[in-house]
Structures are given as C-alpha cells and as structure tokens.
Amino acid sequence: MARRCELTGTGVLTGNNVSHANNKTRRRYLPNLVNVTLISDAMGQGVRLKICASTLRSVDHNGGLDAYLMKADAANMSLRARRLKKQIAARRAATAAASA
C-alpha cells in the first residue's frame, strides 16, 4: 500500500539534505501515517483507515468521521473513503426519510 493518507491524499514529499558545506543530497519527507479505527455514527460500526496524525486531529475537530467526510472534497480521497462517504450519505438520507 502506498504511503498516502486515505482521507486527504497527503503523500511523500521530496527535498534536499543540505550540509554545512552546502552539499545537497536528495531525501524523502514521509507523512506521519497511523492506522486507526474510527467509529461511524451512521453505519454503526468501526472503520479501519490509514491516515495522517494531522487528519486525525481534523476529524476530531469536525465532530467525527461522518461530519468530516460530508465536508471533505472527494477528489483527494482514496476509493475506499469515497465509497464510505457514499454509504454514509445514503444511510443519513434513509434515516432522514424514515423520521420525516
């Protein structure tokens, strides 16, 4: 699996190590990926995702996985995350229709 956040698409960046003598050698900046299980309120179950630590803070700040996915742009997400977003939207719509 690629070193890429499933929700934001953050991946590996490249740059240079620069010595005191100004010698430059290429290096890679890896994202701080963590494997987490986030609870989806609409689905009623946990979802395992590989996301950045900064994305995890954003999910908490937005009020959970469901709220974050509804606000987030699907273009940067992985295929799994896009499918999850569709499922959550469908469940929310079904719940709203049943309660109305």
CATH number, domain of 42, equals 2.30.170.40
Q: What is the pLDDT of residue 14?
A: 97
Q: What is the pLDDT of residues 3-60, one digit of tens each?
A: 999 999 999 999 999 999 999 999 999 999 999 999 999 999 999 999 999 999 999 9
Asked if residue 31 is part of any domain, the answer here is yes
Asked if residue 5 is part of any domain, the answer here is no
**Confidence class for position 1, pLDDT limits 50, 70, 90:** low
Structural domain count, the chain? 1
Domain that holds residue 29: 13-95
CA 72 centroid distance within chain: 9
Strand partners, 30: none
Q: What is the pLDDT of residues 57-100, one digit of tens each?
A: 999 999 999 999 999 999 999 999 999 999 999 999 999 998 87
pTM for the predicted model, two decimal places: 0.86
Q: What is the pLDDT of residue 100?
A: 75
